[in-house]
Structure 1
Amino acid sequence: MHPSTTQSSKGLIRQPALCQWLDVTRSGLAKLKAKDLTFPKPIKDGDARQAAAYYVVSEIEAWLQSKIADRDKHQTDSSEGTNQ
C-alpha cells in the first residue's frame, strides 16, 4: 500500500495516516521505530507529549526503498550461495 497522490504531494503525513499507510497500529509503529534506528524521525508540532507528529513523506519513501533494496540484496546473496 502506498500513499495517495495527495499525501505524497503534501510533503508531510500525520502519524495516524502513516500508520494506515504502513498497515500498523500506533504501538506497532512505536515498536518499529524502537527496533529500527534508521526509521525517519517525526517533526513534532509543539513540545507537549500529545503534540501532533508529522513525517516527511520523501524520508518515509526513501526508508522503504532502502528496506526493499536490502531485502533484494539478501535474496540475491542467498540465491547465489545456493547456485554454487
Structure 2
Amino acid sequence: MTTSVLLSLSTLCTKLDTTPNGIRSISLRDPSFPRAIKMGTTRQARVFYDAAEIDNWLESKKRAREQCFNFHASNLNALLRRQFELKYLQFIQVSNAVSHAGRLLSIGGKQLKPRLRRELMELERYLQLSLSFELI
C-alpha cells in the first residue's frame, strides 16, 4: 500500500493561489481536475486532495499549454516560410522581367534604333530623288 500526501482545501488554495470558490469553479469547469476526498459522512466533513493527483493535473496543464504554444509557433513558422516563398517567387519574376526589359533596351538602343534610322534615311533619300525627278 502506498502512502499519499493529502492536501487540505486551504493548502490547495495556497498552492494554486486561489480561494475555495476558485477551487470549486475549477472542478466544475475542468473534468480532469482531481476529485476531493471527503473525510467523513457529514456535509461539513473536511475535504482533502491527493498531492500526486494535483501535481499530475498541473503537469498535464503545463504540457497542454506547451503543445498549444508549439502548435501556434509551428503554424506561425509555416506561415512565415510560405510568405518567404511567395516573396522569393515575386522577386524572381520581377528580376526576370527587368532583365528582359534591360536586354530589349540594350538591343533596341544599340542595334534596332540605328538600323531603323539608316533605313529611314535611305527611304528619305529615295523619296527626295523621286521628288526632284517629278519637278523636272
TM range (shorter): 0.7 to 0.9
Distance in 2 (CA, whole Å) between partners of 1:10 and 1:44 is 14
With normalisation by structure 2, the TM-score equals 0.54
The runs of 5 or more residues in structure 2 that have no matched partner are 79-136
* Deviation for aligned residue 1:67: 0.3
Are residues 1:69 and 2:58 paired? no
Counterpart selection for 2:46 from 44, 52, 61: 52
With normalisation by structure 1, the TM-score equals 0.86
Distance in 2 (CA, whole Å) between partners of 1:24 and 1:30 is 10
Residue 83 (structure 1) aligns with:
77
Q: Work out which structure has the larger RCO, using CA pairs closer than 8 Å and 6 or more positions apart in sequence.
A: 1
Identify, as 1 or 2, the structure richer in helix: 2
Are residues 1:20 and 2:20 paired? no
- Structure 2 counterpart SS, 1:55: strand
Moved over 4 A (4+): none
Greater CA radius of gyration, 1 or 2? 2
Identify, as 1 or 2, the structure richer in strand: 1
- How high is the sequence identity, in percent, across the aligned residues? 33
Distance in 2 (CA, whole Å) between partners of 1:49 and 1:16 is 17
